Amino acid sequence: MKPRPYLLTLLFLAVAVALSIAVGSVFIPPADLWRVLTGRPPQEVSQAAVILLTLRLPRTLLVLLTGAALGGSGAAYQGVFRNPLADPYLIGVASGAGLGAVLAMSLRWPYSPLGLLAVPAAAFLGALLTVFLVYALARVGKVVPTTNLILAGVAVSAFAGALTSFLMLRSSGELHRAVAWLLGGSVVAGWKPALIVLPYLTLGLGILVLSGHALNLLQFGDEQAAQMGLPVTRAKTVILLAASLTTAAAVAFSGIIGFIGLIAPHIMRLWFGPDYRRLLPLAAIGGAGALLVADVLARLLMRPQELPVGVVTAVAGAPFFLWVLRRAKNQGYW
Amino acid sequence: MLRIENLSVFYGPRPVLHGVTLEVASGEVLGLIGPNGAGKSTLIRAVSGVIPVAGGRVRANGDDLLALPVLQRARRVAVVPQAVTLPPAFTVWETVLLGRTPYLNFLGQISRRDEDIGRAALARVDALDLAERRVGELSGGEQQRVLLARALAQSTPILLMDEPTVHLDLHYQIGLLEQIRSLAHGDGLAVLLALHDLNLAARYADRLALLVEGRIEAVGWPRQVLTPDLLSAAYQLPVEVIAHPLSDAPLVLPGR
């Protein structure tokens, strides 16, 4: 049997997108859905049209982009650190990006027209500072042991989280929204967030997808990679920059969502092998699908209230994390 | 042809190689022998450009190797590293094709020609039937052959090997060394081969270089280098050298 990785993953994504468009607090009959989507909404479905076009479709797009960013950057971090537990959330990059984003928000930037653009930029700077700090703290010679990586990630994450809390408490008023955002919920409605994030994501994920061959070489260690012709330091720096840009794009408007960056690459690697040229796009597609499913669950589980999607991914992801940890320990590699 | 000129390497303040000068001709296997910690691995790593050198030069067919960009270097020199843990989930085929890295475009696209070269490299080391296997499932001898095939896929005129026979049983040791010798004699590669086992070195290397505490103590035919005096001093142990009853190659026995 020859598995068809892209076909299967895209199929999963398509189902997830369909679910995300169809499910919500207001039921819209499938026939009306179809009419709105094909661009001929008659009078009686105008309410459905409003809900779809201003709420569900933009949300679906933002969640899709966020999931793709988390899956792709997770795969890249795992590859550069040669560690299966690297995930933008666990190594603290997401918290760093969150701190950057909250800093930008607390200065009330998002409420001016240009300010919305500043959020992902600030998140990028935060993510970048964090990833190099965690790497420097965790590195022993040329390797990054799992325990060090996670510990450094936890410490830096806690620090960034504390600063974030401080900023949020100081800026009163907006507290509720900020907390909801931090747990993984969009603050700004409409198409804007997705459209602003799109260029960051395209650039970041684009570079990562092109880095598949370099990531493959890095799995053999820096020395062998160099002997096969890879400029190791330059390649690692470019990949970490791109991964941080991608993470920042995810965090900027969707908050800190854990475990998608861990689960998506892992399952793809398990099913379709370790070749990063394929793994990276697959992890992005799979991550998008997984986050959409989590988001649908977040809408359904406590109806009519919504759960923050970060709560759903953590409930599903934490046990998965422990399973991976055990597996990595038993196999004695990575 | 590989020329190492006056190469010096320090680990921190400690000198590890003192002005090493060696020449490996095309079509020749130069065996690098010496006690543990003499600097054999360091020499191979320094020549491949992965550790900084304090002084000296390495020339590959005239080019100043260490001044070249990594990618250019990888077209001239390939390395078979000392027994390493390989990422277990990669297949043999994926691993061997990584050897084509210095010839790929920035998209990393593998061409038909790259695949042909990869297949030829696997065939060269009798490992074509392993292609679909995962490297984590292979025996030590098979892994070593795969690494040799990966180095061959780099299509370099120079091959550096760091104790490729370590952990292999006698059958695989001899098989691998026969292949290495035919790569030099048949295909004209310049092979620098670090070896622990003096008797295997005597039999499979054309010339030997004895490295002791970072200095080349002797270079020459096996018969010139494997002498009781040189070896006793190098290994700090009385050594007898007799002639191999069949091949007449020198045979080294620890004395007493």
Quick: pLDDT tens for B36-53.
999 999 999 999 999 999
Whether pLDDT at B147 is above 80:
yes
Give chain B's length. 256
Range in A10-14, A170-174, A193-197, A292-296 with the lowest mean pLDDT: A170-174
DSSP code string of A89-137: TTTSHHHHHHHHHHHHHHTTGGGSTTHHHHHHHHHHHHHHHHHHHHHHH
Name the segment(s) of chain B with CATH classification 3.40.50.300: 2-76+156-254
Query: How far is B21 from B30, CA to CA, in rounded Å?
Result: 13
Mean pLDDT on A123-152: 84
Cβ-defined contact of B75 to A226 (cutoff 8 Å): no
Contact B118, B153 (CB under 8 A): yes
**Higher pLDDT, residue A188 or A29:** A29
**CA dihedral over B186, B113, B139, B41, signed as positive or negative:** positive
Q: Considering only the beta carbons, identify the residue of B70, B89, B106 that sits closest to A229.
A: B70
pLDDT category of residue A1 using cuts at 50, 70 and 90: very low
Contacts of B86 in chain A (CB under 8 A): 220
List all residues of chain A from 286 to 325 with a beta carbon under 8 Å from chain B. none
Contacts (Cβ under 8 Å, ≥6 apart) of B31 = B193, B194, B195, B201, B204, B205, B207, B208, B209, B222
Contact B40, B193 (CB under 8 A): no
Q: Best residue in A209, A228, A271, A279 to probe B by mutation, most B CBs within 10 Å? A: A228
Q: What is the pLDDT of residues A60-113, one digit of tens each?
A: 999 999 999 999 999 999 999 888 888 888 888 989 998 988 888 777 655 566
What is the bridge-based pairing of β-strands B250-254 and B239-243? Answer: antiparallel
- Asked if B71 reaches chain A (Cβ–Cβ under 8 Å), the answer is yes
Q: Which fold has domain B2-76+156-254?
A: Rossmann fold (3.40.50)
Query: How far is A184 from A129, CA to CA, in rounded Å?
Result: 22
Q: What is the pLDDT of residues B193-230, one digit of tens each?
A: 999 999 999 999 999 999 999 999 999 999 999 999 99
pLDDT category of residue A334 using cuts at 50, 70 and 90: very low
Q: How many CB atoms neighbour CB B228 within 10 A?
A: 14
Q: Best residue in B41, B77, B98 to probe A by mutation, most A CBs within 10 Å? A: B98
Domains of chain A: 5-331 (1.10.3470.10)
> CB contacts < 8 Å between A and B, how many?
76
Whether pLDDT at A8 is above 80:
yes
DSSP code string of A135-182: HHHH-BTTB--HHHHHHHHHHHHHHHHHHHHHHHHHTTTTHHHHHHHH
Contacts of A331 in chain B (CB under 8 A): 88
Query: How far is B93 from B254, CA to CA, in rounded Å?
Result: 43
Whether pLDDT at B168 is above 50:
yes
Query: How far is A321 from A324, CA to CA, in rounded Å?
Result: 5
- Asked if A269 reaches chain B (Cβ–Cβ under 8 Å), the answer is yes
The two three-digit tokens of residue A124, written as one number:
């990028």
State whether ipTM is beyond 0.90. Answer: yes
Q: Considering only the beta carbons, identify the residue of A223, A228, A230 that sits closest to B154.
A: A228
DSSP code string of A178-214: HHHHHTT--SS-SSHHHHHHHHHHHHHHHHHHHTHHH
A275: helix, coil or strand? coil
